[in-house]
């Protein structure tokens, strides 16, 4: 049995894909820190009293931002590393996931097409997606996503070799 793991390039892409969400959180944090700094300056100067509910809201946003960003990054890394793609003598297997598990298996006899897909990020970070389509299905049954591009070519060639032998 041959096994494949998600490449480091795909892990980086998985984190970068969440970048807009992380940027919003960082901008919220920056705004909150600016408000906090202004509030402290006002307190020191004794020019204005701060509403306790506003300071609680600011503290909540700071704590949320400090917890949210590392949680998203760590979850992305573990989600990618949880996937294992394997090829046995008769089947292709894909297993993985954290909150939602995926376990897909297909037999070589049912495979009709194997496609390697790379978007711009895949080309830059050297990963590919191998989509395996079976008879009677219009979508890919098993997807080996995020594997090294050299491994993707080997997987495709191996599958075609197995299909042609039968």
pLDDT in tens, 4-15: 777 777 777 777
CA distance 8 to 5: 9
pTM: 0.68
User: 49's torsion region: left (phi>0), alpha (psi -120 to 50) or beta?
Assistant: beta
Task: Give the CA-trace dihedral at 85, 135, 116, 97, to 10 degrees.
Answer: -30
**pLDDT at position 63 over 70:** yes
User: Rounded to whole angstroms, how far apart are CA atoms 24 and 38?
Assistant: 21
Q: 22 and 72 in contact (C-beta within 8 Å)?
A: yes
Mean pLDDT of 41-68: 66
Question: Which position has the higher pLDDT, 90 or 60?
Answer: 90
- Whether 53 shows a pLDDT value over 80: the answer reads no
């Amino acid at each position: 049995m041959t096994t494949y793991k998600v490449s480091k390039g795909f892990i980086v892409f998985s984190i970068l894909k969440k970048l807009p969400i992380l940027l919003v959180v960082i901008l919220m944090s920056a705004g909150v820190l600016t408000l906090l700094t202004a509030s402290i300056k006002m307190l020191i100067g004794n020019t204005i009293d701060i509403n306790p509910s506003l300071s609680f809201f600011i503290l909540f946003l700071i704590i949320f931002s400090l917890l949210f960003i590392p949680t998203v990054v760590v979850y992305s890394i573990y989600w990618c590393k949880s996937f294992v793609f394997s090829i046995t003598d008769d089947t292709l297997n894909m297993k993985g996931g954290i909150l939602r598990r995926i376990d897909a298996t297909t037999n070589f006899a049912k495979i009709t097409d194997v496609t390697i897909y790379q978007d711009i990020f895949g080309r830059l970070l050297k990963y590919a997606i191998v989509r395996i389509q079976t008879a009677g299905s219009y979508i890919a049954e098993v997807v080996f996503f995020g594997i090294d591009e050299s491994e993707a070519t080997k997987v495709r060639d191996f599958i075609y070799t197995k299909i042609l032998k039968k």
